């Protein structure tokens, strides 16, 4: 198992995506789109914390990492196609990260938007 790519992804998720640390984002990402998405996420959600992080699977070629997260958050601004609801929710996230030369270069993400919308309806 390639701990380097797993460590890069874990640090990005914990410190940049959930922690909101823009320095870590700059250090670990080599992409024009990922910082925009990360900043939109951290701007739209407060009270971010990780309930579950894992499993985390690196690919055999050492270039991709797939992971599952369950996160707690509160939406305070619009995000993608979901308006701000102000409610707290626990949502599932499944993502595949491409890591090149120690930096995240691409990400494919599936967010539990239905769960987020449902939390606002309660």
User: Given this model, what pLDDT does residue 112 score?
Assistant: 87
Indicate the average pLDDT of the chain.
90
Beta strand pairing call for 64-75 and 103-111: unpaired
Instruction: Note the pLDDT of residue 116.
Output: 74
Q: 104-115: per-residue pLDDT in tens?
A: 999 999 988 777
Q: Which residue has the higher pLDDT, 109 or 3?
A: 109
Edge-to-edge, what's the strand order for the sheet holding 88-100? 45-58, 64-75, 88-100, 103-111
* Residue 103 contacts residue 28 (beta carbons within 8 Å): yes
pLDDT value at position 82?
Answer: 77
Number of structural domains (the chain) is 1
Mean pLDDT of 16-23: 96
Q: What is the pLDDT of residues 30-70, one digit of tens each?
A: 999 999 999 999 999 999 999 999 999 999 999 999 999 99
Which CATH number belongs to the domain containing residue 108 in this structure? 3.10.450.50
- Expressed as residue numbers, the domain containing 75 is 3-121
């Amino acid at each position: 198992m390639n701990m380097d790519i797993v460590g890069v992804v874990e640090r990005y998720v914990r410190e940049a995506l959930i922690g909101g640390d823009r320095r870590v984002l700059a250090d670990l990402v080599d992409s024009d789109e990922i910082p925009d998405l990360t900043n939109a996420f951290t701007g739209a959600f407060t009270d971010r914390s990780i309930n579950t992080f894992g499993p985390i699977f690196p690919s055999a070629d050492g270039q991709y990492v797939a992971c599952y997260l369950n996160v707690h958050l509160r939406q305070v601004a619009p995000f993608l196609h979901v308006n701000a609801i102000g409610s707290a929710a626990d949502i599932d996230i499944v993502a595949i990260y491409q890591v090149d030369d120690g930096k995240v270069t691409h990400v494919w993400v599936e967010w539990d938007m239905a769960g987020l919308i449902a939390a606002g309806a309660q």
